[in-house]
Every structure is written in C-alpha cells, then in structure tokens.
Amino acid sequence: MIGLRSALVLSMIGGLGGLATQCTPRKPPPVVATPPAPVKAGPEIGVTTTPVPLDVANPAKTTLEGGFTYAGGLVLTSADTTRLHGLSDLSVTADGRLTAITDEGDVFEAKIQLDAAGRLVGLSETKLRPLPGLNGQPLPNKQEGDAEGLAVLPNGDRLVSFEGHHRIWLYPAQPDGGWGTPRSVPKPATIFPNNEGMEAISAYPAAGPDAYLVGGEEGEVWLCRLSADCKSLPPQSGPDFTWGLTGFAPFAGTAVATLHRGFDPIRGWRSVVRFISDPTRPLAQQRTSAALHIDGAMPRDNFEGVSLTSAPQGAAPGATRLYLISDDQAVGANQRTLLLAFDWIAPPAPPAMPAPVKKRPVRRR
C-alpha cells in the first residue's frame, strides 16, 4: 500500500494526462475473465503465469550490474477469484515453497516451478485462503485485514504486520503446515499514519531465535523480540522522499536485504534492493555489499515483498536466489502482480594486503 508521503507524489499526476502509466513501456496485462464477485477463497485456485523478459527490446538479456542475473519472471492472474491481488510480502523456502500475504487479509501459497537451469517458469499447487483472526474466523474487513509484512521465525512460526489497525500477530506453525490461531506480539511504541505502517518485517536470527526487524514505510527501523520490547535502530532511507521502505529479508550472518520502492509521475515505479551488512550498527559502520536496481526497461511495478534463499539446482553454484513480488493495487489499471527471480554471486574478496616489511634499525657507529 502507499501512504501520505506517496499521496503527495501522486497529487502531481493531475494535469499530466496519465503520464505516470505511459512512462514505463510494457505489454498490457493479460486479459483474464474474472468472476463478477469474489468467490469463496480457496484453498485451490487456478493461476495463469505469463513469462516476462528482463528487457522486452532484448529478450536474451539476463545480466545486471552488481553481480545479479535475471532468473525469470511471471505475471500472476486467476480466472477463479478476484482476490488474487494486493500481494504485499512473501517468503520462499529453499525447496521452492512460496507463501505470500495480501492487503485484503488472505494467504497465497504455491510451489515454484523451475527449469533445468533453475529459472522461474511457473507455479503449481496454488492455494488462496483467508488469514484467521483471534477468534479463528476470517478477518472481517480491509481495516482489520490489511496485511503488509510477513516473517518466518526459525521454528516456523509466522509473524504478520498489519496496517489500518496497526499490530503484529504471531501465527504458530501447525504440524500440517497450517496457520494456527494468532496472538499479539511486541510492536514499536510509536504512532503510525493510517496508511504508512509496518510495511517491512523479517526474522533476525543473528540477534536470537525470537528476534525480528520491523520497518516503517518512512524508513524507521526497530529490533524486536517476542520476549522484550522493540528497540529503535538507525533508519534505512530511500534515495529521496518519493521512496518508501517496503520489505526486509534475512541474509547471511548479521546482514539483511532491504527493499525500497519509489514512484513519481515522470519516472514511474522504481525499486532498489540493498544488502546491508548489519542494520543494528550506526549508519557510518554499515556497509552495502550489493544493490539491485529495478528501473529503465526492466519489469517495474509496486514491489513490496522480498525473499532470499540458497540457489536452486541448476543455478550458478554459491549464488543467492532473490524473489520480488508486487502489489498491483496502488495506482492505475496498468499494474500487474509480478513475481521476479534474480541470482546474485558475491564478488571475489580482494587480495590480502602484503605484510609490511620490518626495517631493521640503522646502527650509528
């Protein structure tokens, strides 16, 4: 979702004749007939996956700056339900199990399909079901069901952050993989704007098995624990005020991936994923080891979810797989639900500096 800060940018659209949707050339979304009203959610739904190249003008292009390689992308649509929209965050496991939450209070689950080279080519076992509330029943409305962030703790329990009614719930993992009845857990002690809440949330095992990072859309960051209150950390700001923080994903050791998205009516949607060495350190001591920029001719939209896994079979050995998902309900009818995959290989470490040669003191006779 987008909030007050983004609304200032969107107000610039008036008088520009829809330039915001014209500035990012792309094929129109696939036309898929949908029911006239929402159907009962799930669990099984049919999902149409339409491949998207990294560059329409150069479909063979896959390489990007910073050590990233495009590993396939899909547009997701469904003729079975009107509720496959507003996907706000996702988690993908090493064996390709995808879980995403929506800002209408649903859970979308699927199995990622890869080709022999490990590239994203489709989804199977697609399911859509409502998130349960504290009473075990589906969340009643948008105000209660606006789920924005998803985190999976080391023990498999899920954390979901909500906007509107700002809160974080823990859903205990069930033996069959289902979602148990939630309970409230610590959240930052601050007042969020109505539509600029806790967009980013991630487990943070480096600080303990019950630790998690929480990020507000304006870049505020907190370290929370199930067993303790939240502690403010240095902010993770975007390039300028038109950007918002929308996603976190745990990386190696203390590192974390941050996702920012930006929008203005001239340049359209843009996104950047950064690998930050340690978000708990002062800003001057944080290092960005890599940055993936979604801009130009690349598939662009309102990316709100990021997930990292080990590279699948067929991909380059030692690579990190990165998935992004977009929320198609922010601005205009030309938005899509995009699922993109990228592989990243860390650059070789620089050679060690030679040891300084110790000079013997000169004896004076």
Cis bond before residue 53 (omega within 30° of 0)? no
Looking at residue 346, its pLDDT comes to 87
| Predicted model pTM | 0.87
Q: Are 160 and 131 in contact (CB under 8 A)?
A: yes
pLDDT in tens, 157-197: 999 999 999 999 999 999 988 899 999 999 999 999 877 89
Residue 167: count of CB within 10 angstroms of its CB: 16
User: Which amino acid would we find at residue 4?
Assistant: L
Res. 17: pLDDT tops 90: no
Q: What strands, in cross-sheet order, belong to the sheet with 288-294?
A: 243-250, 256-264, 268-276, 288-294
| pLDDT one-digit tens code per residue, 254-308 | 999 999 999 988 889 999 999 999 999 999 999 999 999 999 999 999 999 999 9
97-121 residue pLDDT tens: 999 999 999 999 999 999 999 999 9
The share of the chain scoring above pLDDT 90, in percent, equals 75
Distance CA 72, CA 138 (A): 34
Contact predicate 124/110, CB 8 Å:
yes
Find out whether 232 and 222 touch, Cβ atoms under 8 Å.
yes
Q: Which helix (H) or strand (E) holds 217?
A: none
- Contact indicator for 303, 77 with CB cutoff of 8 Å: no
Mean pLDDT computed over 346-352: 75
**Residue 280 and residue 223: Cα distance in Å, rounded?**
8
